[in-house]
Amino acid sequence: MEEFEVPVTYKGKELLFNGKLATFSHGYKLYVDVDGTEVIIERDDHGDLRALLPDLAAENTIDKGLIEAIIEVFRELQVL
């Protein structure tokens, strides 16, 4: 897996998250560590980016707006 950093501006703050790129026979997935919770970013059946959260994320609620800001970074970079 290739590691990288994801710079995100959210609510006026500059944030930096660690990410990993994993390649599979059917495509790619991006794994982003958001405060200890691994968020998986991948393409859905319509070609849009979506975020998948583990069941544990219910305990460590991640702001939906933050997830959208992370996805927007990848959209701007036109990854996947």
- Cα 44 from Cα 61, distance rounded (Å): 23
Predicted local confidence at residue 60, as pLDDT: 63
SS3 for 21-67 is EEEECCEEEEEEEECCEEEEEEECCCCCEEEECCHHHHCCCCCHHHH
Mean pLDDT per 10-residue segment, the chain (80 residues): 94 97 89 94 92 72 92 83
pTM here is 0.85
